[in-house]
Amino acid sequence: MIRATRGFAAIVTAAGRGTRAGGGQPKQWRTLGGLPVLDRALAAFAGFERVVLVVHPDDLAEAMARYAGPVTILTGGETRAASVRAGLEALEGQASHVLIHDGARPLVSDAVIQGVINALEAGAPAAAPALPVSDALWRGTQARVIATASREGLFRAQTPQGFILDRILAAHRAHPGDAADDVELALKSGIEVAITPGSEDNLKITFPADFERAERILGGAMDIRLGNGYDVHAFGPGDHVTLCGIRVPHDAGLLGHSDADVGMHALTDAIYGALAQGDIGRHFPPSDPQWKGADSAIFLAHAASLARDKGFRIGNADVTLICEAPRIGPHALDMAHRLAEIMGVDAARISVKATTSERLGFTGRREGIAALATATLIKA
């Protein structure tokens, strides 16, 4: 996943109806490889500080339920240009550059996005990925060829298209009508646009056959990893325990080099395990005094960041806390939301639950708390 330069924001447009793709619902909400198309398009920009999603008013409730939190959600206008402008207006003064991406392009790669970012960082006022036209071109009707056309200098445009935010916003304000894409508006305003490398896999889903092609692309690149973690901490003096990032009142504390968050430690180790990257001790040695009393969110955030850097997204995570006391149930949802916040994922993908050991063993004797965790990582 891209770790965008500070000052870069992204807009993902998904306000169209996409009826030509069939399926009985807008194409961006149809499932591709087990996930909605829009999930995949948004995941490509998860490393950006600000992401704006523009949806149709009819889809607002579903978008809020799935993406609210790390993503700013707006309703679009009557045209694509109007929808993009709404996103630009929301970002005005909050970013220096913006990348604008079609929500119907779910397979955009890090390399394509990075190419646009690199061009903007090198000083280009605008940049967009494209592929040279290689097929012969004809002019004609549905029935017959009328003439041939030169393909010299022609490119197939893709997204994301990147711009200095103030300049593309000014271009939209100066040309309020619709346009095929944002490059068209940039050119009308005299903005020079650099061409960066596109990808054949960065297809825009338009017709039913495009779903079949996208499924084939995903099938050839699927990489799913599972990891598990286990941790134990004994009780000691204190008036609370910290579990999965939530302070829970109790008549004892937990002993440990850091804050002894047994649930978060188990989950962190599960992610490291899925990556074949050892455990917390490898990355944050307990012999190092700087981690004494440290917030375990540091460890979990590092594991999640390492997964993203290696091209994985967190599919889901499941944490089980094993103890006689304190009661976990009243706090489980808050714990799941806190873990999701730290890892930068949808809380609906995180589960926290608890069980007892039926008064057997050290947890049954109330000597401490144990935790089990499983994490699924999917190659983005």
**pLDDT tens for each residue of 250-264:** 999 999 989 999 999
In a shared domain, residues 81 and 157? yes
Q: Can you state the angle between helices 332-343 and 297-309, rounded to 10 degrees?
A: 50
**For 310, what's the count of Cα atoms within 13 Å in the CB-facing half-sphere?**
19
Pairing relationship of beta strands 350-355 and 312-322 according to DSSP bridges:
parallel
18, pLDDT greater than 80: no
Confidence label for 380 from pLDDT (cuts 50, 70 and 90): low
- Kindly provide the b/e burial profile for residues 43-71, where b requires at least 16 CB atoms within 10 angstroms of the residue's own CB: bbbbbbebbbbbbbeebeeebeebbeebb
Q: Provide the pLDDT for residue 49.
A: 87
Residue 119 counted as domain residue: yes
Among residues 219, 247, 265, the one where a domain terminates is: 219
In a shared domain, residues 53 and 196? yes
In a shared domain, residues 228 and 162? no
Q: Is 238 exposed, middle or buried (0-12, 13-18, 19+ CB in 10 A)?
A: middle
Among residues 194, 219, 244, the one where a domain terminates is: 219
Residue 54 counted as domain residue: yes
In a shared domain, residues 250 and 211? no
What percentage of the chain carries pLDDT values higher than 70?
96
In a shared domain, residues 160 and 257? no
What is the total count of domains within the chain?
2
In a shared domain, residues 298 and 165? no
348: domain CATH number is: 3.30.1330.50
CA nearest to 245, candidates 323, 373, 352:
352
In a shared domain, residues 158 and 305? no
Can you tell me the distance from the alpha carbon of 198 to that of 132, in angstroms, rounded to the nearest whole number? 9
Any residues with CB less than 8 A from the CB of 365 and at least 6 apart, and which?
359
In a shared domain, residues 143 and 167? yes
Q: Provide the pLDDT for residue 142.
A: 86
221, pLDDT greater than 70: no
Asked if residue 51 lies in contact with residue 10, where contact means CB atoms within 8 angstroms, the answer is: yes
Residue 290 counted as domain residue: yes
Asked if residue 314 lies in contact with residue 255, where contact means CB atoms within 8 angstroms, the answer is: no
Positive or negative, the Cα torsion across 278, 283, 284, 285?
A: positive
In a shared domain, residues 82 and 41? yes
Any residues with CB less than 8 A from the CB of 130 and at least 6 apart, and which?
155, 156, 157, 158, 195, 196, 198
Q: Please write the tens of the pLDDT for every residue from 322-364.
A: 999 999 999 999 999 999 999 999 999 999 999 999 999 999 9
Can you tell me the distance from the alpha carbon of 34 to that of 158, in angstroms, rounded to the nearest whole number? 24
What percentage of the chain carries pLDDT values higher than 90?
83
Residue 3 counted as domain residue: no
Q: Distance between the two ends of the chain, CA-based, in angstroms?
A: 7
Average pLDDT, the chain: 93
Q: Residue 166 is part of which domain span?
A: 8-219
What is residue 229's three-state secondary structure?
strand
Asked if residue 203 lies in contact with residue 214, where contact means CB atoms within 8 angstroms, the answer is: yes
In a shared domain, residues 148 and 267? no
203: domain CATH number is: 3.90.550.10
92, pLDDT greater than 80: yes
In a shared domain, residues 127 and 59? yes
Among residues 219, 246, 276, the one where a domain terminates is: 219
Angle of CA points 131, 134, 136, to nearest 5° = 140
In a shared domain, residues 99 and 123? yes
